[in-house]
Amino acid sequence: MKRMVLVGAGHAHLECIKQGSHPEIDWIVVTPSRYQYYSGMFSGLADGTYTLDETRIDVKALCERHGKTWIEDRVMRIDAAGKQVICQSGRVVPYDIVSCNIGSSDWEASTPIHVTIKPNYRVEDAFQTFRSADSPVIVGSGAAAVEMAASFQSNGTPVTLIHEEPLLSGHPAGPELTARLDQLGVIRIVDRFETLDGQTAHLRSGHSIETDAVLFLGGASATELFRASDLYCDARGFLLVHETLQSLEDPSIFAVGDCATLTAYPETPKNGVTAVRQAPLLFQNLIRFVNDEPLRTFRPQRYYLTLLALGHRQATLLYGRFYRTNRLSWYFKQWIDRRFIKKYTV
């Protein structure tokens, strides 16, 4: 009997929990929270479309339904030589194969006004803090920053957005989305966020802004897990993996989604779309590895669909350079998101 340890319950691991069945595998899932929140619905949570319960999956219940062992703990280190994961509680979990789907981190600041939704089970406290703030700030210029600024603003939270680059830099939808935020009343400051000192955000230009809540959405940062485990990482700390989704140094270690960087495709976006696309191949390769069969390789798609909620039942659909903003795109996004949650809750 092989022991398969799944660290985290991201998009790809949810599929493994649901589909995983093999007479020679003992499946163990280790997550720091009973609930996995779906980040694709956070804009709907911000604009009032969803309740908190509608955005989350009960990982414990999912494991029980599909015959997996669930452990509530945080994995702090992988001991590759001893083939065991070391948890925050001191628990040691031996493994034959370990797979990581833990997402990413964000900018760290030792101040109570720093609001973070990574790990995603922090979302409830984060959103409460942000909504109750007098001068909440979002930092970022990408899709997540645009979507969250529009969603909070449309639901009555006055948002200031600090962004150095043009919104969705390089994409033709950028000017239209900029105009949309201006129309909603989002205050935009085109400058580089540098540091946070108490309740003062300092900008590169020398200007500063007072704030009592900062939500940083300026891109993914690596967690400390892989560096703490002395595994081969890229310069930012993301685990380096082959197209088979295996670690460069140890074929029994797999990683998918935001926490990993594909050596053959290092520019692959770190977003939920990638993890969803990797899910079926990860499951196949985990089974193939146990069966001593050749593994398949992952090739990221060149174009992928993105749907950005923009408040008041409007959304922008993006695919490659194409984009369209309308109500139909908003309904399409709701259908996709609700279908994803339903897949793991019914």
pLDDT tens digits, 43-68:
999 999 999 999 999 999 999 999 99
**In the CATH hierarchy, which top-level class contains the domain 2-32+73-105+220-290?**
alpha beta
Q: Is the pLDDT of residue 263 over 90?
A: yes
Q: In the structure encoding, which two tokens stand for residue 38, read together? A: 């779906």
Please report the pLDDT score of residue 346 as a whole number.
73
Question: Residue 135: helix, strand or coil by DSSP?
Answer: coil
Please report the pLDDT score of residue 71 as a whole number.
98
Q: Closest Cα partner for 300 from 253, 248, 257?
A: 257
- The yes-or-no answer to whether 2-32+73-105+220-290 and 114-219+304-345 have a common fold is yes
Domain 114-219+304-345 has CATH 1.10.3720.10: no
Q: Which pTM value belongs to this model? A: 0.94
Beta strands in 153-271 (DSSP E): 160-163, 187-190, 193-197, 200-203, 208-210, 213-216, 239-241, 253-255, 260-262
For residue range 86-126, list pLDDT tens digits in order: 999 999 999 999 999 999 987 766 677 889 898 899 999 99
CB-CB contact of 200 with 209 (8 Å): yes
* pLDDT band at 238; cut points 50, 70, 90: very high
Q: Where are the domains of the chain?
A: 2-32+73-105+220-290, 114-219+304-345
